[in-house]
């Protein structure tokens, strides 16, 4: 499944299921389910009842330990739904949750994308997407009912995708978010235009080298600094018109794994991760809703209301940002 960070409906800080009204209705009622937790629980109940054999549930979302997170979501949702012990035992014995790392820049489809696809194909393809040439898929090999030979198409099958995932979330997605917030504030429409701002590439190299690289143990044989350089080359691709405000959306859901984990790990080892702090500060400025030139910026975030309240309450008191209980 690839359903975005917010569809998991879990508190990013605690990892606990956040049963809003729609999730609660799905998990406790018998109407057609509309939420991800509801669909998963209903599907697993049906599969257990039919004794249809083991299955792997594969998360391809940009979340830390996405397999473990999905496992936690399913376990908590089954519990919330009051699922009979026999079904819980069936899930425990028959369902796996392999972790993955998926990497390919694929911006949202626009009318220009569809027009280009029509020119190239000679027919209208409403499902066309634009994508960069690069692709990488790392998958934990835990499929109780077998799997396609994805390695034949270049996928890396591994016992533990964790170090690949941290590499990508921190050195690619963290840098992406930096470009999104700093670029949007400077009035730049796309990631490539943001990267072309004076001093931006040099700043991002220092972010990777001084803050990100020392925050985790990378996959064997991988240099985080070289990986960061290759990421900047990919972001410079002007044909990929990835909009800064698309990458900037849902910051409350993305920043923990992209930037806050880097800050926490560097702080724990006594460092002062100032470039990461700059990215966080850029997000704080971004959510105030205006570019540096005073043009409006959208706040598209599941916590938008809470952020707006905190901004209104903290207009004259910067302390609001440093005391979570008042946020």
Ligand X SMILES: NC(=O)c1ccc[n+]([C@@H]2O[C@H](COP(=O)([O-])OP(=O)(O)OC[C@H]3O[C@@H](n4cnc5c(N)ncnc54)[C@H](O)[C@@H]3O)[C@@H](O)[C@H]2O)c1
Ligand Y SMILES: O=P(O)(O)OC[C@@H](O)[C@@H](O)[C@H](O)[C@H](O)CO
Q: Which stretches of the chain bind ligand Y, using CB under 6 A? A: 62, 103-105, 173, 176, 247, 254
Using the CB atoms, write b or e for 26-55: b if 16+ within 10 Å.
bbeeeeebebbbbbbbbebbebbeeeeeeb
247 binds, among ligand Y, ligand X, none (CB under 5 to 8 A by kind): ligand Y
- In the bound state with ligand X, the residue whose beta carbon lies nearer, of 101 and 273, is 101
- In the bound state with ligand X, the residue whose beta carbon lies nearer, of 5 and 211, is 5
47 binds, among ligand X, ligand Y, none (CB under 5 to 8 A by kind): none
- In the bound state with ligand Y, the residue whose beta carbon lies nearer, of 104 and 306, is 104
6 binds ligand X (CB under 6 A): yes
39 binds, among ligand Y, ligand X, none (CB under 5 to 8 A by kind): none
58 binds ligand X (CB under 6 A): no
188 binds ligand X (CB under 6 A): no
229 binds, among ligand Y, ligand X, none (CB under 5 to 8 A by kind): none
The answer to whether the beta carbons of residues 297 and 182 sit under 8 Å apart is: no
Using the CB atoms, write b or e for 251-276: b if 16+ within 10 Å.
bbbbbbbbbbbbbebbeeeeeebebb
3 binds ligand X (CB under 6 A): yes
36 binds, among ligand Y, ligand X, none (CB under 5 to 8 A by kind): ligand X
5 binds ligand X (CB under 6 A): yes
303 binds ligand X (CB under 6 A): no
Task: Please choose, out of 25-33, 97-105, 211-219, 305-313, the segment that lies near ligand X by the rule CB under 6 A.
Answer: 97-105
**22-41 mask for ligand X (x: CB under 6 A)?**
--------------x-----
39, 136, 172 from 213: Cα distances, Å: 39, 20, 12
**How do strand 55-56 and strand 100-103 relate by DSSP bridges?**
unpaired
176 binds, among ligand X, ligand Y, none (CB under 5 to 8 A by kind): ligand Y
311 binds ligand X (CB under 6 A): no
Torsion angle of the four alpha carbons 38, 44, 49, 50, in this order, in degrees rounded to the nearest 10: 120
Alpha carbons 100 and 310: distance in angstroms, whole number: 35
Torsion angle of the four alpha carbons 204, 209, 210, 214, in this order, in degrees rounded to the nearest 10: 130
Residues 100-129 touching ligand X, rule: CB under 6 A, are: 102-106, 108
Least distance to ligand X, CB of residue 32, Å: 14
DSSP 241-253: --BHHHHHTTHHH
Using the CB atoms, write b or e for 163-174: b if 16+ within 10 Å.
bbbbbbbbbbbb
Alpha carbons 247 and 235: distance in angstroms, whole number: 12
- In the bound state with ligand Y, the residue whose beta carbon lies nearer, of 26 and 193, is 193
Alpha carbons 286 and 135: distance in angstroms, whole number: 30
Binding residues for ligand X (CB under 6 A): 2-7, 36, 61-62, 102-106, 108
């Amino acid at each position: 499944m690839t359903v975005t960070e917010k569809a998991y409906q879990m508190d990013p800080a605690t990892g606990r299921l956040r049963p809003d009204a729609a999730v609660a209705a799905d998990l406790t009622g018998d109407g057609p389910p509309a939420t991800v937790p509801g669909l998963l629980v209903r599907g697993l109940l049906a599969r257990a009842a039919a004794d249809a054999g083991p299955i792997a549930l594969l998360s391809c979302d940009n979340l830390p330990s996405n397999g473990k997170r999905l496992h936690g979501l399913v376990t908590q949702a089954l519990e919330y739904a009051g699922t009979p012990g026999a079904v819980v035992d069936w899930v425990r014995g028959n369902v796996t949750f392999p972790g993955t790392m998926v990497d390919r820049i694929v911006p949202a489809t626009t009318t220009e994308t569809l027009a280009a696809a029509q020119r190239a194909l000679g027919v209208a393809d409403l499902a066309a997407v634009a994508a960069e040439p690069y692709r990488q898929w790392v998958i934990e090999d835990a499929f109780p009912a077998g799997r396609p030979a994805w390695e034949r198409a270049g996928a890396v099958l591994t016992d533990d995708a964790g170090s690949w995932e941290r590499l990508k979330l921190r050195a690619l997605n963290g840098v992406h978010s930096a470009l999104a917030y700093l670029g949007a504030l400077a009035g730049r429409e796309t990631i490539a235009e943001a990267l072309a701002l004076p001093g931006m590439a040099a700043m991002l190299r220092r972010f990777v080298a001084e803050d990100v690289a020392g925050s985790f143990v990378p996959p064997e044989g991988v240099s985080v600094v070289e990986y960061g350089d290759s990421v900047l080359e990919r972001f410079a691709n002007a044909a990929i018109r990835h909009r800064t405000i698309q990458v900037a959306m849902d910051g409350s859901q993305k920043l923990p794994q992209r930037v806050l984990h880097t800050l926490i790990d560097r702080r724990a080892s006594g460092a002062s991760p100032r470039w990461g702090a700059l990215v966080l500060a850029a997000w704080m400025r971004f959510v105030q809703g205006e570019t540096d030139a005073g043009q409006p910026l959208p706040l598209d975030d599941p916590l938008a209301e809470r952020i707006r309240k905190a901004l209104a309450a903290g207009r004259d008191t910067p302390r609001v940002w440093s005391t979570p209980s008042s946020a």
